[in-house]
């Protein structure tokens, strides 16, 4: 930022010193310590004319005592390399300027790193290479660069000391092998090598490259040593007679030992360490020569793990002497491996590693260089031993110094393997008082607490962290990129590193993935990043302070959202009664001891925040909490100048009174309820067209400045799904100090109530705004039921079933047909003409008509819908959970060996449920009736079950939490089982009792989870500085482990999808989609399908829609040896049995951030298909790519770009913003937004480049689209519930681009039930309208939530208009009936007006807009009434009598 403002390097240095020392010294810090820290912390060298990189290193004199004994209480030698790195690091600034960058890099456009192995090439000098002197060539490949310095030092030392042989070494970072130039050089080096060494080769595609080169050379290599890596690479190990060629198959003692450790859930690394410890016991079972070679391998591992230059030097000498024939007879004279404690405590100033925490604390408290306050926070810092022993600890030193300079005590522990739970429990938990010694934990390893890249044990990690019960932060050191490369990258942290070191720790409950350390491209050494460690240290201490600060003194900011910006929308959040929930939170906190001036009730809270709900829009209608002068704003907001490019000088036009910045909200004692400003460009059509999102405006920045620096909040609670902070511009993952989410949140601990069913956006909040997300439940679901004419139809069908064989049958069918037309079912069901004579139809034909109508009615009736809005801390009753339980019971769960209830019931009468589903779908009357019988019986069984185990008020009886074991024994006798009572006397009475018992035991567990309440408990724990238990987000019907809510939401391992189960489900949908299109297109296959990939959907379904894309192209993912999905291959055409379908994939911005590795897979699959030598008529990918390549004059691979999203750091097409704010002129403008915002392609050939604009190919590909397609996978979210769905719909856009002007067919896959459906978009919008917008059960449920419920109704109408704008697939009658329901009903009109006049005004305006844009044709009487009503509600809002 300073460089952007024109500061010189010396000014930057000066400013850095002022920031880190003058402003924040600990008042007890010694002058010499301060000088020392300044020298180490603030050294700057120029990288470019506009950028500087700072290195933090700590120089300190150490007292070194040497001792081999590593017992507790005995001095353990600190390797010289550790001391050396600190000494030299304090004297040398990081030099990554133009000259060194040019020397160390080659042109490798689009790769994640451009470093070159030449940096790691060491050759003997001419003096050292005497005639006849043998030279041993060593090639190594490693994941990280931490061994670079020690290997280089070891080889140089050998060459300077030895007169009998010399060593040449060259090293490759695994990521460098993506470069073709590097890979070719790697082949040449391996061809000349004597010894090959590999370590941590865990990236499948690169592991295959290593194997492809090394395996053919293995027989000629004198030695091949592979330390923990992928199994196929481990099999390359060769050391004399020692081999791992049969790894996984051998029955040797070593293999048996390793297998046993895997059964104990040890990772490979931990198993290898245990093997080293128990080596003598293992070797006695081996023959002499094999024992010697095996011992040498284990010694090699000990040398390697020891890591110091001395250990590495002895390792190279030992291996060369033992296995290189040219050195036979030479006296090698090497020392045994020097070992270090597996776990211990390290400190940069300490004289040794400590294995006893009390001994360490005794040394710490006797230090003379610093004094700490008696109540100083204590931070536990978790480290990797390998960095300590290799002398690559500069980044650790910098962070320890940053914490101590702020007055915090530090206990830095390490592990030699990758099970960090051992030292964490050993050193951080005080067994004497059964409490934690530390106030927060910061892991600097980047790994999961238990396990490395290959395998993790999350339950073990969670158990350890739960015991400690303190905030757990996992920060990220750059591994695959240099500091400069990360700084320039829009992606931020390398996607593989995101998967390994961000996603996996989140499963342990980790928060705050702040990049704290960079890497020097020349030396490979790590260095701390001053502004990042400042941020991390401040935040770690703030989290820790929550544990000690008295509750009565804590200040909390509760932030609500207002989107779209309108007074009627204050407090927007998915499925949540926001103000009712805030009131519950305030009650709970006041009861817990917080100083809160409690409003009378939730309505009073709304009134005070809004000040006057009837104030006119032009005035500051919300309560003004603070007016911030511009001078104060600029002084307290150091990045304000950067906002001027987009918004001009402050105060600007947003959140201002023209003179001051205005903060809206209301303070209630120590709780401030504030209204987060919006993006600011929602109403500006020109800004919405920009391909990249604008910075936050001044008002937005002023809000967070006020919260942190004027109100001085101890924490902020963002209330509900979701706000704008986490979607501000910046890197995708791994924020820098220039990324707006990072600068805005500052040092505030961020708590965030997020809907449990939205793990993807919750993960964005976690990664980009450092949120500790706490899940809340969605409202209880009910079946939609039937109403008005639909209910009448159901009664007619019932009559027909009993009277069809009498003379009344034809007339009843006639009435059914007429009523179906009245209910607008004629577009959903094939019906005869309304005046057709039913007597002329055969009984079978009449049955088909009735069967089709019946099937559609049951589809509407059984659809789940949320009733009302959820209030935090008010779980549903057991009775309210029945519909949810019925749906949970309907799913087969192979992993739990549980069969679904419909399947069990079908089998009891000798039928297969899938067969019944198929025949129901085509409207066979008897099968529709049978499915309805099964559905009703399932409901009856579950209802009876719930009734039996609940109290009169609908709560689960006490003592039943563990009813998985208690349930069956408590009911004992068969006749007492509740489901037995429901089944008795029915045709399903013979249902399998054993399967039912297992199913209902599972349902009991699910019911207890549903009604548990920890949403308030999770928040209270977090505010107390405690560990919030992690839990998956997703659909509780698919995955009941989402429950209970109140957990820290996490997503999943991105490399785990798509699963095989997802692939099977996707296959069914793709088959039905293609077949449905063929039916409507004269049997022709669709040539191109445009579809959307959503983050949350793929988390919930474990990658079903991702798998759909692969299967359309005719490709399948292949898991690697560790079960990770990193490979893909084409299905042969003869097996596929149809042409390969071309695709245009629109990835949401959230999917892009979470699953860029999967985007890589998809792009590779499409390009493989494009290059396949197959007939164009059987490969539409190739057909179109060849034509586009010729048309555009580009290569075939470039023409095959099909995976698109927003620019990095931007989200959505902005079509939704334009529609919600009525800020668009015509549909062409919406289409231009889509093309401008969504035309950024991912290219697997240049994966490090991120998203690159490629509009030309994007438009060319869209011109070939025959089908647009989206998925619905959760009953809680349908097409008109959120604006994201129409925001990503290109239907009308494709029609405009196609040369023939043909509108593509639009389909929606509905996998919300066990019977997956593929419907047209128009069918789905009609179903949505019938089950929600027009359904009294739904809108009355919403109205019961008052102000916010009225807004939800208005939102559904606006989203319906959005679908008209993007697809034209909304029927006229939908608007007509909505108008009759909400406008022409005087009572409903009055209720809406009084409940939320602003939202009602928006509803009236939306009806008028729908007519004005040609989407709704209605009577002039209706339009005049709407115009009069608009003026009436406007007058009411303006206060005109």
Cβ(1422)–Cβ(1385) below 8 Å: no
The distance in angstroms from the start CA to the end CA of the chain is: 54
pLDDT band for 885, please (50, 70, 90 cuts): very high
Cβ(563)–Cβ(89) below 8 Å: no
Tell me the CA distances in angstroms from 942 to 938, 967, 1013, one per residue in order.
Answer: 6, 14, 22
Query: Is residue 683's pLDDT more than 90?
Result: no
Separation between Cα atoms, residue 1060 and residue 1107, nearest integer Å: 9
User: To which residue do tokens 């931007």 refer?
Assistant: 1210
Separation between Cα atoms, residue 504 and residue 864, nearest integer Å: 33
Q: Identify the residue with better confidence: 33 or 1228.
A: 1228
The phi, psi pair for 147, rounded to 5°, reads -85, -5
Separation between Cα atoms, residue 128 and residue 45, nearest integer Å: 35
Mean pLDDT of 345-365: 96
The phi, psi pair for 95, rounded to 5°, reads -105, 95
| Closest to 861 in 3D by CA, of 951, 931, 915, 926 | 931
| Closest to 324 in 3D by CA, of 188, 215, 225, 210 | 225
Mean pLDDT of 316-343: 91
Take residue 93 and report the two structure tokens written for it: 């600034």
E-only strand ranges, 74-228 = 135-142, 166-173, 195-199, 223-226
Give 708-735 pLDDT, tens digit per residue.
Answer: 999 999 999 999 888 889 989 999 899 9
Strand 1251-1253: give its sheet, edge to edge.
Answer: 1251-1253, 1240-1242, 1203-1205, 1142-1147, 1088-1093, 1267-1272, 1305-1310, 1317-1320
| Closest to 1374 in 3D by CA, of 1339, 1425, 1323 | 1323
Query: Is residue 1148's pLDDT more than 70?
Result: yes
Separation between Cα atoms, residue 882 and residue 662, nearest integer Å: 47
Q: What pLDDT was estimated at residue 1348? A: 86
Q: What pLDDT was estimated at residue 954? A: 63
SS (H, E, C) 1097-1151: HHHHCCCHHHHHHHHHHCEEEEECCCCCEEEEEECCHHHHCCCECEEEEEECHHH
Q: What pLDDT was estimated at residue 288? A: 61
Mean pLDDT of 1390-1414: 93
Q: What pLDDT was estimated at residue 287? A: 58
Q: How far is CA 1382 from the centre of its chain?
A: 39
Q: Identify the residue with better confidence: 416 or 933.
A: 933
* Mean confidence (pLDDT) of the chain: 85
Q: What pLDDT was estimated at residue 878? A: 85
pLDDT band for 1008, please (50, 70, 90 cuts): confident
How do 771-776 and 750-755 pair as beta strands? parallel
- 1031 in helix, strand or coil? strand
pLDDT band for 973, please (50, 70, 90 cuts): very low
E-only strand ranges, 740-863 = 750-755, 771-776, 781-783
Take residue 657 and report the two structure tokens written for it: 């009174």
pLDDT band for 682, please (50, 70, 90 cuts): low
pLDDT band for 15, please (50, 70, 90 cuts): very low
Take residue 457 and report the two structure tokens written for it: 């044990």
The phi, psi pair for 492, rounded to 5°, reads 90, -125
Residues in the chain: 1441
Query: Is residue 1171's pLDDT more than 80?
Result: yes
**Could you tell me which residues are beta bridge partners of residue 39?**
none
Take residue 1327 and report the two structure tokens written for it: 């179903």
What does the angle CA 31 – CA 37 – CA 39 come to, to the nearest 5 degrees?
105
Q: What pLDDT was estimated at residue 912? A: 95
Take residue 448 and report the two structure tokens written for it: 């999961």
Q: What pLDDT was estimated at residue 319? A: 95
Take residue 160 and report the two structure tokens written for it: 């300077």
Q: What pLDDT was estimated at residue 24? A: 32
Separation between Cα atoms, residue 398 and residue 40, nearest integer Å: 8
Give 562-609 pLDDT, tens digit per residue.
Answer: 876 666 578 788 889 999 999 999 999 999 999 999 999 999 998 898
Q: What pLDDT was estimated at residue 957? A: 67
Q: What pLDDT was estimated at residue 282? A: 55
Mean pLDDT of 1235-1255: 88
Q: Kindly report the pTM of this predicted structure.
A: 0.85
Q: At what angle do helices 1255-1262 and 1180-1192 cross, to 10 degrees?
A: 130
**Could you tell me which residues are beta bridge partners of residue 241?**
none
Query: Is residue 51's pLDDT more than 80?
Result: no
Dihedral angle over CA of 1327, 1328, 1332, 1337, nearest 10: 20
Q: How far is CA 471 from the centre of its chain?
A: 20
pLDDT band for 272, please (50, 70, 90 cuts): low
Cβ(589)–Cβ(555) below 8 Å: no
Q: What pLDDT was estimated at residue 720? A: 86
What b/e sequence results for 996-1018 when a residue is b if at least 16 CB atoms lie within 10 Å of its CB, and e otherwise? bbbbbbbbbbbbbbbbbbbbbbb
pLDDT band for 247, please (50, 70, 90 cuts): low
Q: Identify the residue with better confidence: 805 or 442.
A: 442
Separation between Cα atoms, residue 1061 and residue 1081, nearest integer Å: 31
Mean pLDDT of 28-33: 36
DSSP 263-285: HTT--HHHHHHHHHHTHHHHHTT
Query: Is residue 80's pLDDT more than 80?
Result: no
Query: Is residue 1354's pLDDT more than 90?
Result: yes
Cβ(1011)–Cβ(583) below 8 Å: no
Separation between Cα atoms, residue 499 and residue 476, nearest integer Å: 12
pLDDT band for 274, please (50, 70, 90 cuts): low
Separation between Cα atoms, residue 1433 and residue 613, nearest integer Å: 13
Longest alpha-carbon distance in the chain: 114
Q: Identify the residue with better confidence: 1320 or 1313.
A: 1320
Tell me the CA distances in angstroms from 120 to 139, 202, 1059, one per residue in order.
Answer: 10, 21, 40
How do 1142-1147 and 526-528 pair as beta strands? unpaired
Tell me the CA distances in angstroms from 470 to 443, 450, 1027, 1029, one per residue in order.
Answer: 13, 17, 5, 11
Task: Taking the CA atoms of 1020, 1021, 1024 and 1025 in sequence, report the sign of the dihedral they define.
Answer: negative
Q: What is the CA radius of gyration of the chain?
A: 34
E-only strand ranges, 328-453 = 343-345, 378-384, 409-415, 429-430, 435-436, 440-443
Q: What pLDDT was estimated at residue 62? A: 28
């Amino acid at each position: 930022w300073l460089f952007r403002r024109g500061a010189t390097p010396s000014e930057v240095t000066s400013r850095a010193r002022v920031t880190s020392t003058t402003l924040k010294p600990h008042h007890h810090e010694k002058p010499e310590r301060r000088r020392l820290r300044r020298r180490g912390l603030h050294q700057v060298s120029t990288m470019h004319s506009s950028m500087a990189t700072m290195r933090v290193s700590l120089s300190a004199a150490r007292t070194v005592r040497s001792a081999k004994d590593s017992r507790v209480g005995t001095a353990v030698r600190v390797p010289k390399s550790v001391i050396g790195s600190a000494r030299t690091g304090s004297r040398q600034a990081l030099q990554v300027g133009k000259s060194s960058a040019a020397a160390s890099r080659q042109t490798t456009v689009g790769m994640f790193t451009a470093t070159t192995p030449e940096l790691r090439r060491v050759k003997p000098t001419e003096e050292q290479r005497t005639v006849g002197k043998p030279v041993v060539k060593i090639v190594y490949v490693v994941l990280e660069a931490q061994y670079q310095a020690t290997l280089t030092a070891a080889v140089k030392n050998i060459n300077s000391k030895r007169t009998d042989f010399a060593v040449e070494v060259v090293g490759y970072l695994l990521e460098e092998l993506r470069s073709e130039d590097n890979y070719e050089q790697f082949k040449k080096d391996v061809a000349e090598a004597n010894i090959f060494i590999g370590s941590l080769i865990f990236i499948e595609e690169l592991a295959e490259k290593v194997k492809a080169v090394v395996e053919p050379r293995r027989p000629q290599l004198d030695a091949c040593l592979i330390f923990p890596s992928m199994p196929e690479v481990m099999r390359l190990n060769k050391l004399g007679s020692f081999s791992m060629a049969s790894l996984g198959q051998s029955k040797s003692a070593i293999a048996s030992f390793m297998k046993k450790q895997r059964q104990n859930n040890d990772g490979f690394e931990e198993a290898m360490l245990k093997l080293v410890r128990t080596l003598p016991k293992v070797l006695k079972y081996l023959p002499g020569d094999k024992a010697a070679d095996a011992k040498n391998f284990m010694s090699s591992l000990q040398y390697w793990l020891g890591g110091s230059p001395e250990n590495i030097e002895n390792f190279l000498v030992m291996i060369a002497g033992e296995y290189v024939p040219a050195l036979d007879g030479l006296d090698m004279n090497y020392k045994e491996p020097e070992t270090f404690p597996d776990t211990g405590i390290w400190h940069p100033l300490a004289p040794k590693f400590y294995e006893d925490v009390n001994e360490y604390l005794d040394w710490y408290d006797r230090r003379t260089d610093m004094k700490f306050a008696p109540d100083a926070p204590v931070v536990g810092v978790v480290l990797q031993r390998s960095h300590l022993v290799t002398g690559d600890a500069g980044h650790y030193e910098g962070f320890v110094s940053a914490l101590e300079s702020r007055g915090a005590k530090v206990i830095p522990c390490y592990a030699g393997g990758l099970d960090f739970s051992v030292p964490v429990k050993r050193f951080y938990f005080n067994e004497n008082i059964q409490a934690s010694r530390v106030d927060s934990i910061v892991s600097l390893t980047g790994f999961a607490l238990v396990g490395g890249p290959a395998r993790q044990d999350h339950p073990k990690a969670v158990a350890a962290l739960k015991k400690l019960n303190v905030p757990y932060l996992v920060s990220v050191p750059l591994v695959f990129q240099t500091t400069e490369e990360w700084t320039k990258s829009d992606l931020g942290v390398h996607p593989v590193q995101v998967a390994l070191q961000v996603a996996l720790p989140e499963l342990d409950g980790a928060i705050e993935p702040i990049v704290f350390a960079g890497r020097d491209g020349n030396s490979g050494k790590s260095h701390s990043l001053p502004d990042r460690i400042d941020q991390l240290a401040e935040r770690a201490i703030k989290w820790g302070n929550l544990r000690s600060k008295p509750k009565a003194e804590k200040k909390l900011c509760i932030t609500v959202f207002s989107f779209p910006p309108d007074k009627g929308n204050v407090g927007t959040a998915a499925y949540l009664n926001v103000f009712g929930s805030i009131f519950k939170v305030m009650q709970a906190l006041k009861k817990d001891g917080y100083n809160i001036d409690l409003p009378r009730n939730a309505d009073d809270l709304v009134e005070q925040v809004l000040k006057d709900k009837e104030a006119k829009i032009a005035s500051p209608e919300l309560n003004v909490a603070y007016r911030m002068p511009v001078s104060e704003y600029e002084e307290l907001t150091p990045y304000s100048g950067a906002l001027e490019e987009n918004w001009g000088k402050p105060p600007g036009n947003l959140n201002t009174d023209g003179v001051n910045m205005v903060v809206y909200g209301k303070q209630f004692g120590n709780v401030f309820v504030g209204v987060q400003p919006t993006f600011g460009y929602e109403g500006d059509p020109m800004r919405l067209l920009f391909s990249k999102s604008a910075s936050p405006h001044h008002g937005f920045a002023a809000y967070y400045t006020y919260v942190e620096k004027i109100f001085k909040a101890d924490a902020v609670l963002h209330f509900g799904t979701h706000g704008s902070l986490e979607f501000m511009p910046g890197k995708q993952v791994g924020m820098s100090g220039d990324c707006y989410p990072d600068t805005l949140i500052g040092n505030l601990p961020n708590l965030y109530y997020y809907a449990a069913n939205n793990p993807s956006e919750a993960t964005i909040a976690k990664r980009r705004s450092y949120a500790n997300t706490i899940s809340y439940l969605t409202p209880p679901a009910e079946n939609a039921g039937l109403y008005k004419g639909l209910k009448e139809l159901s009664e007619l069908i019932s009559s027909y079933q009993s009277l069809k064989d009498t003379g009344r049958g034809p007339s009843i069918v006639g009435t059914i047909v007429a009523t179906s037309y009245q209910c607008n079912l004629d577009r959903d069901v094939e019906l005869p003409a309304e005046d057709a004579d039913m007597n002329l139809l055969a009984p079978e034909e009449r049955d088909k008509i009735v069967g089709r109508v019946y099937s559609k009615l049951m589809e509407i009736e059984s659809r789940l819908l949320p009733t009302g809005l959820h209030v935090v801390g008010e779980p549903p009753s057991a009775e309210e959970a029945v519909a949810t339980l019925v749906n949970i019971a309907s799913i087969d769960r192979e992993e739990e060996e549980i069969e679904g209830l419909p399947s069990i019931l079908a089998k009891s009468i000798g039928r297969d449920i899938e067969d019944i589903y198929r025949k129901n779908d085509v409207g066979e009357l008897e099968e529709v009736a049978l499915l309805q019988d099964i559905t009703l019986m399932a409901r009856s069984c579950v209802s009876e079950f719930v009734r039996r185990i609940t109290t009169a008020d609908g709560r689960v009886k006490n003592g039943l939490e563990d009813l998985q074991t208690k349930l069956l024994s408590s009911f004992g006798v068969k006749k007492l089982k509740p489901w037995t009572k429901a089944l008795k006397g029915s045709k399903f009475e013979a249902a399998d009792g054993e399967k039912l018992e297992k199913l209902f035991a599972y349902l009991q567990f699910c019911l207890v989870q549903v009604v548990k309440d920890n949403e308030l408990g999770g928040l209270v724990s977090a505010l107390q500085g405690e560990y919030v238990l992690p839990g998956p987000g997703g659909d509780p019907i698919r995955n009941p482990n989402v429950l209970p809510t109140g957990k820290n939401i996490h997503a999943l391992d991105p490399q785990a999808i798509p699963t095989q189960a997802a692939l099977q489900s996707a296959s069914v949908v793709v088959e039905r989609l293609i077949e449905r299109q063929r039916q409507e297109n004269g049997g022709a296959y669709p040539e191109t399908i445009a579809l959307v990939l959503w983050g949350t959907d793929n988390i919930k379904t474990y990658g079903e829609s991702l798998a759909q894309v692969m299967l359309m192209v005719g490709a399948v993912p292949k898991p690697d040896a560790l079960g990770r999905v990193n490979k893909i291959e084409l299905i042969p055409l003869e097996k596929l049995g149809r042409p390969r379908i071309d695709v245009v994939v629109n990835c949401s911005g959230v999917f892009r951030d979470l699953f860029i590795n999967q985007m890589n897979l998809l792009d590779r699959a499409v390009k493989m298909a494009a290059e396949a030598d197959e007939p164009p008529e059987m490969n539409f990918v190739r057909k179109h790519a060849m034509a586009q390549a010729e048309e555009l004059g580009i290569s075939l691979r470039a023409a095959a770009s099909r995976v698109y999203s927003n620019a990095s750091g931007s989200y959505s097409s902005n079509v939704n913003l334009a529609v919600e704010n009525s800020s668009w002129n015509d549909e062409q403008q919406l289409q231009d937004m889509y093309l401008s915002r969504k035309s950024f392609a991912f290219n697997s050939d240049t994966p490090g480049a991120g998203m690159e604009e490629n509009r030309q190919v994007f438009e060319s590909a869209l011109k070939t689209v025959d089908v647009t397609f989206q998925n619905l996978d959760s009953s809680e979210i349908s097409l008109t519930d959120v604006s994201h769905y129409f925001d990503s719909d290109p239907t009308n856009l494709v029609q405009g681009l196609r040369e023939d002007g043909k509108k593509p067919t639009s389909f929606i896959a509905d996998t919300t039930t066990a019977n997956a459906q593929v419907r047209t978009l128009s069918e789905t919008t009609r179903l949505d309208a019938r089950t929600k917008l027009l359904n009294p059960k739904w809108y009355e449920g919403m109205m019961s939530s008052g102000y916010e419920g009225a807004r939800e109704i208005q939102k559904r109408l606006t989203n319906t208009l959005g679908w008209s704008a993007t697809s034209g697939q909304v029927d006229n009658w939908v608007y007509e009936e909505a108008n009759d329901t909400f406008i022409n009903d005087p009572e409903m009109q009055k209720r809406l007006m009084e409940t939320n006049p602003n939202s009602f005004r928006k509803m009236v305006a939306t009806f008028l807009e729908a007519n004005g844009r040609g989407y709704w044709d209605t009577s002039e009487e209706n339009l005049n009434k709407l115009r009069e009503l608009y003026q009436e509600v406007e007058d009411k809002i303006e206060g005109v009598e």
